[in-house]
Structure 1
Amino acid sequence: MSLQSLFVSSSARVFRLGAFATLCLAMLAGCSTLGNNAQPQEPKPDLSELAHQAAQQMVANNPDLTRYSPMIAATFVSIDNLTQSSTFGRISSEIMASALAQQGMQVREVKMRDSMFIEESVGELILSRQVQRLSSQHNARSILMGTYAQGQDALYVSARVVRAGDAMVLGSADFQLPLDNNMRSLLEAQGGW
């Protein structure tokens, strides 16, 4: 065997060995990702983020909404019992009013006034028969109202701004939140979850 043929034969073996090694490494890399196909999940939006998106949607759908200022905010209530709320209902109303204020709505703070009765465990509930009386007491042109419903895995929220004079809906938005332990603790005040 000549030196040249020995060199070619050795080079071919080295090439085959290199190709085999590359193939093995590629297979190992493929096997390591088989059980790890899950893409990193983005965090789900929280109540504050969803309320701000809802406020933006309300104003985008009715750019004249801010003309109905000042607005007062009512505590969001359980759809199953409009006289019942929870920590979730109170904080939802606060966050939504703040989000609407950032969109240009003038929001009147009613907790600073003595003329509106605030029940400690419920908050500023506004039922339809009270809308005109309360809006005139606070010189409000609109009222933020909302309801929520608890499902098995999600909490559904419906928010709307109504005209004080005739309760006509000026803007509305709906969103849902995952019913995790945090949401359950905010709902406990309504008598269980």
Structure 2
Amino acid sequence: MAVGFFTLLLSACSVLDNNSAPPEPKPDLSELAHQAAERIVAGNPDITRYSPMIAATFVDIDNLSQSSTFGRISSEIMASALARQGMQVREVKMRDSMFIEESVGELILSRQVQRLSAQHDARSILMGTYAQGQDYVYVSARVVRSGDAMVLGTADFRLPLNNNTRSLLDAGGW
């Protein structure tokens, strides 16, 4: 009988222990983007030599001419995170010379890379794509040398898909 009571007591304690610590919150877009920026710089510590950098809006992998609020904020957060890692980031939205399509953002297609980088005196460009799955949004970010389109650094991450993320992915969310 004492063994049964002791077993019951131990199982009650383990239930209490499991309930006492709240589950860790899932990482958000900002946290994941900052971790990705750290990985980009860690993978190529000389990447900051390719400053200044301009940031292009991240685009939908299934339609490279389409973006969303998610694509715009992802590139903004990644540019901020890279700036915190020592990259000089040139803000192109302040300049009249770059056309910004209202519903898409600053899309940079390969044929425009050299013209835009020369226009903004940029040595590199932050580019990225995203794809929506059933449970996650997958993001691939890379810093590309503007002169020859060589990839200088890259990082990928996935963000849990919830109602907040779904609303950012709505292309009409502009």
Per the normalisation by structure 2, the TM-score is 0.91
Total equivalences in the alignment:
171
Q: Whole-Å Cα distance in 2 between the matches of residues 95 and 173 of structure 1?
A: 14
2:34 aligns with one of 35, 40, 52: 52
The structure with more helix, counted as a fraction of residues: 1
**Within the alignment, does 1:187 sit opposite 2:169 as a pair?**
yes
**Residue aligning to 1:96:** 78
How far off is 1:149 after superposition?
A: 0.4
| 1:45-89 deviation per Cα after TM superposition (whole angstroms, max 9, x unaligned) | 111111111111111110100000000000000000000000000
State yes or no: 1:29 paired with 2:9. Answer: yes
1:64 aligns with 2:82: no
Q: CA RMSD in A?
A: 2.1
Structure 1: which 4+ aligned runs deviate by more than 2 Å?
26-41
Q: Identity of counterpart residues, as a percentage? A: 78
Q: Give the 3 Å change call, closer, same or farther, for CA 59–31 of structure 1 in structure 2.
A: closer
Q: Quote the offset at 1:111 in angstroms.
A: 0.2
Is residue 163–residue 169 contact of structure 1 (8 Å, CA) maintained in 2?
Answer: yes
Tell me the secondary structure at the aligned position of residue 160 of structure 1: strand
Identify unmatched segments of 5+ residues in structure 2: none
> CA separation in 2, counterparts of 1:83 and 1:51?
22
**Counterpart secondary structure, 1:189:** coil
The residue that corresponds to 1:163 in the other structure is 145
Partner of residue 113, structure 1: 95
Q: Deviations over 1:115-164 (max 9, x none)?
A: 00001111000011110010000000000000000111110000000000
Distance 1:101 1:31 in 2: 51
Quote the offset at 1:30 in angstroms.
Answer: 3.6
3-state SS in 2 of match to 1:42: coil
Shift of 1:28: 4.1
Give the drift of 1:43.
1.2
Match of 2:107 in 1: 125
RCO higher in 1 or 2 (8 Å CA, sep ≥ 6)?
Answer: 2
How big is the shift at 1:27?
A: 4.2
- SS of equivalent residue, structure 2 residue 152: strand
Deviations 1:17-42 (A, max 9, x none): xx95x963x34434536767577421
